Structures are given as structure tokens and as C-alpha cells.
A = this chain, B = another copy of it.
Amino acid sequence: MKARVYVSMKPTVLDPQGQTICNALHGLGHKEIAGVRQGKYFEIALSPDTPRDSAVQLLDSVARDVLSNPVIEEYRVDLLD
């Protein structure tokens, strides 16, 4: 079983890295770009005998406690197959 966890800054938190990328793209002439925000994602493989229910719980706790900082970041878990 595979899952993807997406972690990004909360919308209210400044993202200087995304801002820098946006400025660089403007400098390269891509004026159509109105804004960029950067996040990270994790592709997680689970052992195939993990029941789906416990996989959802496990991934949620891993995303909340280990992969993201809940003070400034939000996360989203996508379970594939």
C-alpha cells in the first residue's frame, strides 16, 4: 500500500522560499506567474498486510507528529490503492 503526505505552510504564514522562486521567475520573464508557495511531500510505502483502517490512523499520526510542524504547517494524506 502506498500513500502520499503533503505538507505545506498554513496560508497565513509567510513563505519566503516561494516568494524568492516567484521573484526569480519574474526575473526570467514569466510575468504570468502570480504567486508560488513551496511545500514538501513524502511517498510512504506500507507493508502490504497493513489493514486500511490502521494505515489511515498511522499515516495521520505520523503526518501530524513527525512530518509536519502543526504550529505553522498543514498536511494532507492521500492513500493510493
Contact with B along A41-59 (1 / 0, CB 8 A): 1111111001000110010
A55 to B23, CA, bound (A): 18
Q: How many residues of chain A get a CB closer than 8 Å to chain B's CBs?
A: 32
- Interface residues in A48-81 (C-beta closer than 8 Å to B): 50, 54-55, 58, 62, 66-67
Copy total for this chain = 2
A66 touches B24 (CB 8 A): yes
Q: A24-B66, A28-B66, A62-B25 are in contact. Are A45 and B40 (CB under 8 A)?
A: no
**Interface of A toward B, CB cutoff 8 Å:** 6, 8, 18, 21, 24-25, 28, 30-47, 50, 54-55, 58, 62, 66-67
